[in-house]
Amino acid sequence: MSDESPRAPSWFRSRSGLVLLAFLGIAALFIITEHTAHVLGILPYLLLLVCPLLHWFHGGHRGGHGEHGRRGRGDNGGREGEGR
């Protein structure tokens, strides 16, 4: 004998769950289509904001340029274009 009882269907598979999912899908479609102009209008500013953030978090000035000065210090003290 088995003590397993039959499982009740998932709430999302019930009639009210399917109606709710359909309503949310339609609402999301309308929100996306109506606000696309606003999102695309802000996109250039978001790109300008992302550039410095990526530079900062990628390590732009924390160690990337330091090696250039160390290589040249042997012959001209780290100053490029002098001493030759």
How confident is the model at residue 28, as a pLDDT?
94
C-alpha pair distances (Å), 84 with each of 63, 69, 70, 75, 79: 27, 16, 17, 9, 11
How confident is the model at residue 66, as a pLDDT?
54
pTM greater than the 0.75 cutoff: no
Check: CB of residue 8 under 8 Å from CB of residue 1: no
Print pLDDT tens along the chain (84 aa): 556 666 766 776 788 999 999 999 999 999 989 988 888 888 889 888 888 888 888 765 555 555 555 555 555 555 555 555
Q: How far apart are CA 64 and CA 14, in angstroms?
A: 58
How confident is the model at residue 19, as a pLDDT?
93
Cα–Cα–Cα angle for 53, 47, 50, nearest 5°?
Answer: 10
